[in-house]
Amino acid sequence: MQRSLAQRLATIAASLALAYAAAPAVAAGSAAASAHPAFKVEVTGKGAPVILIPGLASSGEVWDGTVARYCGSRQCHVVTLAGFAGVPAIEGPLLPAVEQQLSDYIAANKFDHPIVIGHSLGGFVGMKLAADHPDQVGRLIIVDTLPALAAIQMPSITAPQMKEMAAGMRARMESMDPESYRANQLKTLRSMITKQEDIDRAAGWGKLSDHATVINAMTEMMSADLRGEVSRIKSPTLVLGAWYAYKDFGTKPMFEQMYKSQYQRLPNVKVELADTARHFIMYDDPAWMYDRIDNFLK
Cα–Cα distance for residue pair 134/123, rounded to 1 Å: 15
Taking only the tens of pLDDT, the chain with its 298 residues reads 444 444 454 445 444 444 444 443 333 333 333 689 999 999 999 999 999 999 999 999 999 999 999 999 999 999 999 999 999 999 999 999 999 999 999 999 999 999 999 999 999 999 999 999 999 999 999 999 999 999 987 899 999 999 998 888 888 878 778 776 667 777 889 999 999 999 999 999 999 999 899 999 999 999 999 999 999 999 999 999 999 999 998 999 999 999 999 999 999 999 999 999 999 999 999 999 999 999 999 9
| pLDDT for 34 | 66
H or E stretch covering 41: strand 39-44
Do 38 and 7 meet the contact criterion of CB atoms below 8 Å apart?
A: no
Task: Indicate the pTM of the whole model.
Answer: 0.90
Q: In three state form, how does the secondary structure of 49-89 look?
A: EEEEECCCCCCHHHHHHHHHHHCCCEEEEEEEECCCCCCCC
Query: Can you point out the beta strands (E) in 121-274?
Result: 140-143, 237-241, 269-273
Q: What is the model's pLDDT at position 170?
A: 85
- Do the Cβ atoms of 147 and 118 come closer than 8 Å? no
How many whole angstroms from its chain centre is CA 210?
A: 17
